[in-house]
Structure 1
């Protein structure tokens, strides 16, 4: 009988104690969500200077831009939204190209000697006129169709928020940048997410594409292998 009374007293105390421990944890998760802020990184210089300052990240892009002075000027002086391509993206494109050329018994081609007109066309796909932050695309559930500088090529931008701490849409902002390839069907598009958004330079907003992206939106081999 005494044990029964003791258990009846002990059980509510334990439940109250557990509830007391759980509530602060819930508040902590909520605080993490509501306090989240995607802060923009600012760079004190133009976009070309920013690329040069990121050692080991944009060397391949700079090599190509050194062959394209008009685009260098744009990245130095014009207001742009830029989707920057890292070294990994160029490495994948060059590797795939030269695997194909080896099978065809052709000499390898590298960025230093690749067709300049084709490089210009492909680099321009990553440059848009005007400075737009990720939030400027937030209100469009299906994304926004945009056109590139110089060649006026149609591209597409979709704003999303990643999940964090188990909370849906509670994490960093992501822009998915796509080449629609002239199709209205998303399954045929070449798409790439960003690793970072809203890097502010003196003349541009820079978004960095994920290293899994292949430079040229999987057209590098077709365009360069001539």
Structure 2
């Protein structure tokens, strides 16, 4: 009796395995098709250089509300840099509203703990804003082609104060296609330090936006305006 039961159980297991095979094959085919479809999107990817018929400042002004409002508020307080964005050949790493909001939030958390009144961009010391904002502007109009040959990145002096900033090309990998994804830049403040662990880094969300007098690269929203110096500089 036991032999019969064992034999029946073996037969049931064999049938189950045979039934599972077609299901597994279909799943594998589905995954392969999905992967091929996903990869094909990256194989077809072309990083087109966008062009704007106006200056760098006009580009910022033309963007939707809540994109560069905070940046424009700061720029309007800094006539020399405003002129630079309109008339000089530059590369600009543009921080969005989110970058300023994070900086202001951190500032006012500290000021509250210290029993001080809140500070906002319209109140902050103009000299300190100029020092920090200058670090986002590099002389000369350059696309990612200028940085691609340098595997470890390259230093460029910022406008106004010739502060050294580090730019590193970073072409993202797509599935199944090495260096086949979108182009990106890692923009860093080295803090005048040779040791990279002390650098403040930021990635870009968009690169190679061409204006009449320069190139705009948009920094990721997680970037903290001032490269972690805003609070200490303006908290007077």
| TM-score normalised to structure 2 length | 0.83
Could you tell me which residue of structure 2 aligns to residue 125 of structure 1?
135
- 2:147 is aligned, of 133, 137, 142, to 137
- The more displaced of 42-51 and 211-220 is 42-51
Is 1:38 aligned to 2:47, yes or no?
yes
Query: Is residue 204–residue 219 contact of structure 2 (8 Å, CA) maintained in 1?
Result: yes
Query: Is residue 43–residue 177 contact of structure 2 (8 Å, CA) maintained in 1?
Result: no
Is 1:86 aligned to 2:86, yes or no?
no
Query: Could you say if the C-alpha distance between residues 21 and 63 of structure 1 is closer, same or farther in structure 2, counting changes exceeding 3 Å?
Result: closer
Tell me, in whole angstroms, the C-alpha distance in 2 between the residues paired with 1:23 and 1:200: 39
Query: 1:165: how far off?
Result: 3.5
Could you tell me which residue of structure 2 aligns to residue 9 of structure 1?
none
Structural RMSD (CA): 2.3
- 1:69 is aligned, of 76, 79, 101, to 79
Tell me, in whole angstroms, the C-alpha distance in 2 between the residues paired with 1:26 and 1:217: 39
Could you tell me which residue of structure 2 aligns to residue 109 of structure 1?
119
The aligned length equals 211
Query: 1:47: how far off?
Result: 1.1
What are the within-5 Å matches in structure 2 for residues 174-185 of structure 1?
174-185=184-195
Is 1:151 aligned to 2:161, yes or no?
yes
Tell me, in whole angstroms, the C-alpha distance in 2 between the residues paired with 1:99 and 1:24: 51
Tell me, in whole angstroms, the C-alpha distance in 1 between the residues paired with 2:215 and 2:112: 39
Deviations 1:177-207 (A, max 9, x none): 0000121111110000000000011111000
Larger Rg: 2
Deviations 1:8-39 (A, max 9, x none): xxxxxx9xxx9x99998887666544432111
Could you tell me which residue of structure 2 aligns to residue 48 of structure 1?
57
Query: 1:40: how far off?
Result: 1.1
Query: Could you say if the C-alpha distance between residues 29 and 59 of structure 1 is closer, same or farther in structure 2, counting changes exceeding 3 Å?
Result: closer
Query: 1:169: how far off?
Result: 2.0
Please list every run of 5 or more consecutive structure 2 residues that lacks an aligned counterpart in the other structure: 1-21
Please list every run of 5 or more consecutive structure 1 residues that lacks an aligned counterpart in the other structure: 1-13
